[in-house]
Amino acid sequence: MLSFDGWSVGIAYCLKILIDTIYSIFFIVKAKKNKISMLYFPAFMMIAYLLAYIPYVFDFFNILINGMNIQFSKLILLWIISGENMSAVLGLCLGSKLCLSKYKKFVIIFFFIFSIITEIIVIIHPSAGFVLDFPSSPGENLIKPYIPFSSPLLYLAIPYILVNSYYVFILVLKSYKLKGKIRMKYLSIALGFFSGNLFFILISVTYNVGFLYAVLFYLTGLMVWLPLYYGLTPVREKKIKQKKTPSDDELKFVSYLMKKPSSNQHLTDEAPLIKEPNREILVFASYSSKDSKIYKIQNIAEKLKAYQGIKDVLFYEGESIDNIIKYMNDNLGQCDAFLLFCSQNALSSVPVEKEWTAAEAMGVPIIPIFFDLKHVPPLLQSRLGVEYDFYNLDQTVKEIYSSIVKKCVERD
């Protein structure tokens, strides 16, 4: 019957294969979807590494079913060593691509020859390269592998560790020449390589300590594969948070808290921000019909007309595209200023696009009004505009009036 150590190590082996399989599939999918070729290296490293532990899982299930350990043959030992060797060589290939400008092929060929020598040692004399620790009572614990100090395999593993350590040093050195997220990417890859070395040494030392041996398998995924994944994926572009228009209830509540007057009041007693124009100004307002209530177009028109010098604010409230074109043809050419109320709806509106492009062609000054700069057409983003304040409509109207007068004065 399995002891606590036997159970812990057996379950750890099973979970390792399961988790590494999930990791490797995830890496391959991400590599293919986002065209990140570097992610294939850790993906195939995991596959090779988990294959090396399949015989130990067989041992675990054989104990559960038959109460005895399985008989390890040369073929099984060769299977184990092949998996570990392939994982190590793939790791060195990844490191050489990241750290070496020259001699990449030489390093890969050199260690490929090392891996072949390792296989030959196992075939010729398994016990000279790889020792299996059988439990004192069959079926009590799993068979655990270790490399004795007298083994040639130990001395073949040392170059792997030294080269990986060199890669860690180079990656850390490169990171300090960089800044921000790129630095963190290099440090993350360095952590992955360092953890791989560390866990190889710890697992070799603690092979007889069952529970600790099991814990190390769980940590391997967190300390090796996750840092490599983070380090090898490109830096994500910062997502610009799109502003949302506040609801009517929110506007009323904020107005109440800030003790602001109702936005329906006229501005006949309000002084403009700049001197009134010497002539009457006709204003054309362009907006998506879906934004009429959001931007309070009618309220803005009434408030602007309350200012001296604003003859009228023209805006179309119909639906027919033909009527919009006729309305635009009849009135746009007479206007002195063009207000473009920008939003996601306006960007996708064909009539709105026709209006502002016609105004641009006729030389009518265009004033973008927006609550998110992302909604302003790229061609107009350099223009003097007004950021719409949903919580202070009066101030917004003042700024619109100021912009209108300034544009008309410049035009005159």
Domain map of the chain by residue range? 4-232, 248-411
Strands (E), 134-182: 144-146
To which residue do tokens 């490169």 refer?
Answer: 174
Contact (CB, 8 A) for 68 and 140: no
Q: What is the CATH number of domain 4-232?
A: 1.20.1070
In this structure, the strands spanning 144-146 and 366-370 are unpaired
Q: What is the pLDDT along the chain (412 residues), one digit of tens a residue?
A: 788 878 888 888 888 888 889 989 999 999 998 888 888 989 998 898 888 888 888 888 988 888 888 887 767 777 777 787 788 888 888 888 888 877 777 877 887 887 787 777 767 766 656 677 778 787 888 877 777 677 767 777 788 888 889 999 999 998 888 888 888 999 999 998 898 888 877 776 666 666 777 777 777 777 888 888 888 888 766 555 556 666 666 666 655 555 544 444 333 344 344 455 567 888 998 898 888 888 888 889 988 888 888 888 888 765 555 566 677 777 777 888 899 999 888 988 888 888 899 888 888 889 999 888 888 888 888 887 888 888 788 888 999 998 888 888 766 5
Element at 74 (helix H, strand E): helix 74-99
4-232 matches 248-411 in fold: no
pTM: 0.56
Token digits of residue 321? 């595209």
With a CB cutoff of 8 Å and minimum separation 6, the contacts of 313 are 283, 284, 285, 300, 301, 304, 305, 339
248-411 is classed in which CATH architecture? 3-Layer(aba) Sandwich (3.40)
